[in-house]
Amino acid sequence: LPAADARPCDCFYVVDSCLIPEVAHPFIGDPVAKSWNVPLGSAPGTPGQRLAAKVREQMEMRVAAGASCFNRTCRVYAPAYRQVSITALMHLRALIDLEQDPSMNPGLLARPGELRQAFDLAYDDIRRAFTEFVDDAANAGRPFVIAAHSQGAMHALRLLQQEVENHPERRRRFVHAYLAGTAVPLDVFSQSLRHIRPSASARDTCSVSSWRTAAPRHPDSRQLRTASFYAGSGWRRPTGAALANNPISWSAEPGGPPSDALKYEGALWPLPANICLQAEEGRGRVPSGA
């Protein structure tokens, strides 16, 4: 790989959800297991510190895998942030409905104000990290991309609206945003993104591409259907057409020609030493033996 200083671009990478039930389960019985946000900054030796350490381990592994495609051309900046839990994400649509109709029964959403604050806390960590990154004198004049997945892409879309769109100098350096695994409604480009455009070609700059990362019948598709987006001053449900780029052919046309399967080179993901290889092969994961 080229030395970091020889790479012509920078990448601000926002990692996806790592505060998942499997990580929080060992802490059931302690209030920290019900936290809306990753408890970064907890006192040493506490359950919060141990949970945060597990989540950071997941973050580092996912950044190493997910951002690796940028290593030849970009210096990668990937902040740890107090992201919300999967449980919080699953309740977001209920929060949106309640804000639109305060008279409705909140159901299981007992503390909607806390949930709203949890999303703002996660986003504010990302926003502060981004402004420090983009305005750092050491990065002056350097082009940059934003890349994110899932929850990270939800926050990154808000970041584009609030910290890039209305900042001409940042926008001049902005190359592209890769927002995978979430919904980017096309109408956001006629409302809060006027200078940043939906991408239709690999040559586009100051643009956005987006695609789903699970097939319609994949178990994660139900979770993807709960995706919401931030527009203007609050969270919204996607209702119209969404941006959908083929990340191989770059086609964005509905019903466009599929890409050649041979051009997809697969993905390399680290697997634990004690994993059941037969079960993983049944899920379509083929251990490399490396």
List, for residues 268-281, the tens digit of each pLDDT value.
666 666 666 666 56
Query: What is the per-residue pLDDT across 223-255, written as a single tens digit (0 to 9) for each?
Result: 555 567 777 777 777 778 889 898 888 877 666
Residue 289 lies in a domain: no
Please tell me the distance from the alpha carbon of residue 198 to that of residue 245, in angstroms, as a whole number.
9
**Residue 99: HSE in the Cβ half-sphere, 13 Å Cα cutoff:** 16
Please report which confidence band the pLDDT of residue 171 belongs to, taking 50, 70 and 90 as the band edges. very high
Residue 194 lies in a domain: yes
Please give the structure tokens belonging to residue 162: 């609030």
Count of domains in the chain? 1
Residue 244 lies in a domain: yes
Q: Which of 33-37, 151-155, 184-188, 210-214 has the lowest mean pLDDT?
A: 210-214
Query: What's the pLDDT at 290?
Result: 42
C-alpha distances out from residue 57 to 50, 61, 83, 270, 290, Å: 11, 6, 14, 13, 21
Residue 137 lies in a domain: yes
Residue 211 lies in a domain: yes
Please tell me the distance from the alpha carbon of residue 136 to that of residue 104, in angstroms, as a whole number.
46
Higher pLDDT pick, 148 / 249: 148
Residue 192 lies in a domain: yes
Residue 215 lies in a domain: yes
Domain that holds residue 254: 4-265
Q: 23: which residues sit within 8 A by CB, 6+ positions away?
A: 51, 54, 55, 58
Its pTM stands at 0.87
